């Protein structure tokens, strides 16, 4: 079968292909409506040290800051902070369950990092991100405070407050529709080819 003949066959059966695409796109849209939306909120923070003070135009991290970022990422999902957040927000969650909703996004090359919270409620995702950022700041201040009362070796601050997003990160409706259209196209073409093949074999 030449490319030309294949194109002619598909064009001749365009109605079948079109119906298949519409059906699968509609099905994909229906599936996306059944998926519970999940929202994300981010609190942007920064690390400052005695040897390096954060400035708006300077983000590069030294080795000390890099090491601190790794440690802070573990704190964010640890029981100390998650239990405080649960108590502060009166959440009907265990600290371990909350830890599944919170992550810390960072690059070891920058002193800027994000506290990322997800939830089915955009407002609760924002509150979790905000409270986690506040509690992390408090815990770091406690841990970094020297016994002699000198300036702490490191501190963190909130650069941008988290916001309640109006757009969920899941489901990705556009992606669902694209997949539905592609599958519908493939199924439609397969049906057209099958119809032609079995139609020829009829007595």
Please state, in angstroms and rounded to a whole number, the distance separating the CA atoms of residues 35 and 172. Answer: 10
Per-residue model confidence (pLDDT) at position 146: 72
Per-residue model confidence (pLDDT) at position 2: 47
Average pLDDT of the chain?
86
Residue 56: pLDDT band with limits 50, 70, 90: very low
Question: Which pTM was predicted?
Answer: 0.74
Per-residue model confidence (pLDDT) at position 57: 43
pLDDT of residue 60 exceeding 60: no
Residue 200: pLDDT band with limits 50, 70, 90: low
SS3 content of the chain, % helix, strand, coil (to 5): 55, 20, 25
Please state, in angstroms and rounded to a whole number, the distance separating the CA atoms of residues 33 and 67. Answer: 43
């Amino acid at each position: 079968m030449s490319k030309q003949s294949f194109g002619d066959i598909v064009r001749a059966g365009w109605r079948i292909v079109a119906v298949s695409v519409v059906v699968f796109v509609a099905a994909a849209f229906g599936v996306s409506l059944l998926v519970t939306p999940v929202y994300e909120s981010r609190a942007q923070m920064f690390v400052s040290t005695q040897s390096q003070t954060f400035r708006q135009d300077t983000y590069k991290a030294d080795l000390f800051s890099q090491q601190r970022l790794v440690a802070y990422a573990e704190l964010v999902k640890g029981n100390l902070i998650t239990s405080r957040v649960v108590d502060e927000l009166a959440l009907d969650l265990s600290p371990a369950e909350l830890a599944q909703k919170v992550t810390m996004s960072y690059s070891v090359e920058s002193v800027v990092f994000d506290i990322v919270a997800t939830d089915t409620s955009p407002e609760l995702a924002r509150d979790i991100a905000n409270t986690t950022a506040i509690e992390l700041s408090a815990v770091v201040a406690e841990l970094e405070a020297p016994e002699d009362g000198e300036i702490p070796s490191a501190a963190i601050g909130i650069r941008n407050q988290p916001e309640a997003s109006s757009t969920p990160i899941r489901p990705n409706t556009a992606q669902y529709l694209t997949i539905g259209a592609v599958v519908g196209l493939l199924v439609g073409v397969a049906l057209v080819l099958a119809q032609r093949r079995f139609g020829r074999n009829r007595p």
